[in-house]
Amino acid sequence: MAYEDLNTKFTDGKTSTYEYFSVSPNLSADLYPTINGIDSVKQGLERLLTTPKGTDPFNREYGSSLYNLLFENVTSINTIKMFLYMDILAWEPRVEIRPQDIEIIQLDNNTYKVSCNFILKEYNISANLTTTITKE
């Protein structure tokens, strides 16, 4: 079973960017490129990490505890890693990950870099996702 999602980055993966905002009402499937395999999993994982729990209007349980915990200044990085690990287990069944595969680095008072090494279960290959979480 291959994974396929809409490309929310709106790029073809090469150099050009698609213009989505000036198209006619007769949209075709060709205007929405899809991404497969590892890129689909990375996109899903990044969405999970960057969605604060309770903010998705369609599912208030979806998201990660990361944003709330990082900016409380009362939680240790190891505790944050465990919460993030549990969120990934709950919402991204396509990956295998351990708490020690998660790295959180504070860049400044308002910005953290989060890196996750994981295994894509279906293909048994290792991959990495790095994203930045910024306090708004």
Identify whether 48 is part of a domain: yes
Residues 5-27: pLDDT tens digits?
Answer: 555 554 444 433 333 333 334 44
Residues 68-100: pLDDT tens digits?
Answer: 887 776 678 888 899 999 999 999 999 999 999
Write the CATH number for 128: 3.10.450.40
Predicted local distance difference test score (pLDDT) of residue 8? 53
Which is it for the CA torsion 127, 121, 56, 9, positive or negative?
positive
- Please check whether residue 59 is in contact with residue 24, taking contact to mean a CB–CB distance below 8 angstroms: no
Identify whether 2 is part of a domain: no
Identify whether 19 is part of a domain: no
Identify whether 59 is part of a domain: yes
Per-chain mean pLDDT for the chain? 77
Identify whether 27 is part of a domain: no
User: What residue numbers bound the domain in which 74 lies?
Assistant: 38-134
- Number of compact structural domains in the chain: 1
Both tokens assigned to 42 = 């990375």
Identify whether 25 is part of a domain: no
Global pTM?
0.70
